Amino acid sequence: VNNTGLHIKRLCLIGVGLIGGSLVRALRRADAVDEIVGCGRSRASLETARELGVIDHIEPDPAKAVAGADVVVIAVPLGAMQNIFTAIAPALAADTLLTDVGSAKASVVAAAKKAFGELPAGFVPGHPIAGTEKSGVQASFAELFEGRRVILTPTAQSSASAIAHTRALWQACGAEVVEMDISHHDEVLAATSHLPHMLAYSLVDMLARREDSQEIFDYAAGGFRDFSRIASSDPTMWHDITLANREALASLLEQFSMDLQKLAAAAREGDSDYLRNIFTRAKQARDRYEIKDTR
């Protein structure tokens, strides 16, 4: 009973971390859910989630956890998706809504196909464009998705009602929901999220490997702090994302690597026009983006 018309009796959350925890906190706040079953590998983390009131019950076995749930949300790292799909496939009721929050979508859909054979009509892959460099249920909060975009990438088998319900679920969390083709999603995210993370990780690693790394970090100024913040993100999660979206990401890394070589050559040759063009175009694009994003 709430303004979106969504009402979930029993939600099964598999993977109770920052994203999953924030999602169920937001759904509770919207009075959109009665009961939440939490499932995950770490008993301690599930206990914490229950103590925080993020989940009501603990069920470590995925097949048992999905029993009787009208909605199942998978919020585990991408590398764990295959095992979860395989575990729940025999137990999932036909009318259950099934969605996930993975940052790459083609690999998730491939994992589901492997587990289910034919994809269930109730399966609607999703990806909330939100997060922080923190992780774990302790970092979760109900406002995480407010005003953020959630991209749904329905499969050819997703039913219209399952898509509508998944949409309502995220709207209840304050998110703006859009739909995108699976491979296009992976391309766009490689450019806007996965590539920047690779650059931040690689830069910090390159500096950390230097003999004078202590001094280097001593003199890193404010710009560096902002630039490198995302290098604090969870290494396992990003390992999984990198492998899950490897084709799109590797192409962009190679393209960017070439751009840097051209920039190095332009600097050495004193090619003022080349440098000015890049810096000016980038500033204009970044300033337009900032205006839009903070509207």
Near a second copy in 271-290, by CB under 8 A: 272, 275-276, 278-290
| Residue 224 touching a second copy (CB under 8 A) | yes
Closest CA to 151 of 125, 173, 133: 125
Q: At 74, is the secondary structure helix, strand, or coil?
A: strand
159 touches a second copy by CB under 8 A = no
Helix (H, G, I), strand (E, B) or coil at 253: helix
Count, residues near a second copy per rule CB under 8 A: 95
Backbone φ, ψ for residue 135 (5° rounding): -145, 170
Beta bridge partners, 35, equal: 10
Binder among 156, 211, 223, 295 for a second copy (CB under 8 A): 223
Options 15, 77, 131, 154; binder of a second copy; rule CB under 8 A: 131
Task: Please report the sign of the dihedral spanned by the C-alpha atoms of residue 137, residue 142, residue 147, residue 153.
Answer: positive
Q: Please, which of residues 201-220 interact with a second copy by CB under 8 A? A: 201-210, 212-213, 215-220
Which CB, 118 or 218, lies closer to a second copy? 218
Residues of this chain, 243-262, that bind a second copy according to CB under 8 A: 243, 246-247, 249-251, 253-261
Site for a second copy in 52-91 (CB under 8 A): none
Q: Is residue 165 within 8 Å of residue 4, measured between CB atoms?
A: no
Which region, judged by CB under 8 A, interacts with a second copy, from 29-37, 89-97, 155-163, 228-236?
228-236
- In the list 63, 64, 196, 211, the residue contacting a second copy (rule: CB under 8 A) is 196
Q: Is 197 in the site for a second copy (CB under 8 A)?
A: yes
CB atoms within 10 A of CB 292: 8
Rounded distance, CA 240 to CA 63, Å? Answer: 23
Q: Report if residue 233 touches a second copy, rule: CB under 8 A.
A: yes
Rg (CA), the chain: 21
Query: Residue 86 corresponds to which tokens in the numbers above?
Result: 């395989």
Q: Between residues 38 and 128, which has the closer beta carbon with respect to a second copy?
A: 128
- Residue 295 in the binding site for a second copy (CB under 8 A): no
